[in-house]
Amino acid sequence: MSKPLIRLTDISKSYKLGAVHVRALNDVDIDIDRGEFLALAGPSGSGKTTLLNLIGCIDKPTTGRVVLDGVDVTAVPLHRLAATRRDTLGFIFQTFNLIPVLTAYENVEYPLLLQGLGRRERDARVRRWLDHVGIGAQAKQRPDQLSGGQRQRVAIARAMVVEPKLVLADEPTANLDSETAGRILELLGKLNAETQTTFVFATHDPAVMSRAARCVRLRDGQLAAEETRALVA
């Protein structure tokens, strides 16, 4: 049996906000296998975004271990994890996080520039992914010239262009109407099936939960329930 892509063991995370001590996560254990399409679900304050940040090497747990693709990233200083985030992970955000002065093409190209890829390889990858997510005709447009759904498609292409092992999506449908959100979720499910890239969502959107093959529910920083279902075609 292959090892999970992600293993979280006895994860706790605490913050000090002034005189107040906040415990965002409390003794969380999760294994996430390669190729999963998984939702971390729960209301605001449940700890799902904190957990996503730990998986994404953006933050460190107060206690516990995060093992990503066989590497205990809790043992590595945060400043040395930039290459892991750049080469192994893709990120999709509810606010899209596109660079406003760059075109769709340039936004997707940007992470490849950070990787140092040559111009010909960059161009081939960018055009392939813009076309794959259905936004090739808008390659020269800036984010302010695109609809919300189109901007999220650019963000998806940017996440996938580095050929990541894992894509982390924080409330990816929050700023989209229900019809557009449905099309975006359908696209993400298709990419998961085609590439076997692991997708992990932090969400409180029932539509995202219904699309996930596994839904891990959090409440008050602890695992509350887990559901497994067949993926929606």
Q: What is the DSSP string of 159-219?
A: HHTT--SEEEEESTTTTS-HHHHHHHHHHHHHHHHHH--EEEEEE--HHHHHH-SEEEEEE
**Residue of 48, 99, 15 whose CA lies nearest to 224:** 48
In a domain, 62, yes or no: no
In a domain, 175, yes or no: yes
**pLDDT for the residue 230:** 64
In a domain, 11, yes or no: no
Domain range holding 207? 35-57+81-228
In a domain, 15, yes or no: no
Query: Residues with Cβ < 8 Å from 188, sequence gap 6 or more?
Result: 37, 156, 169, 172, 199, 211
In a domain, 221, yes or no: yes
C-beta separation of 157 from 130 below 8 A: yes
Query: Residues with Cβ < 8 Å from 19, sequence gap 6 or more?
Result: none
**Residue 107, CA atoms < 13 Å, CB-side half-sphere:** 31
Structure tokens at 26: 């409390």
Q: What angle do CA 212, 215, 220 make, to 5 degrees?
A: 145
**pLDDT for the residue 17:** 80
Q: What angle do CA 141, 142, 147 make, to 5 degrees?
A: 85
**pLDDT for the residue 1:** 59
Look up the pTM and report it: 0.93
In a domain, 190, yes or no: yes
Tell me the one-letter amino acid at 119.
R
**pLDDT for the residue 231:** 56
**pLDDT for the residue 233:** 46
* Successive 10-residue mean pLDDT values, the chain, 233 residues: 90 88 93 97 92 95 96 91 92 94 98 95 98 97 97 97 96 93 95 96 93 94 88 50
Number of domains forming the structure of the chain: 1
**pLDDT for the residue 5:** 97
213: domain CATH number is 3.40.50.300
Structure tokens at 200: 């992990």
Q: Which regions of 33-88 does DSSP assign to beta strands (E)?
A: 37-41, 63-68, 71-72
Structure tokens at 230: 């067949």
In a domain, 14, yes or no: no
In a domain, 216, yes or no: yes
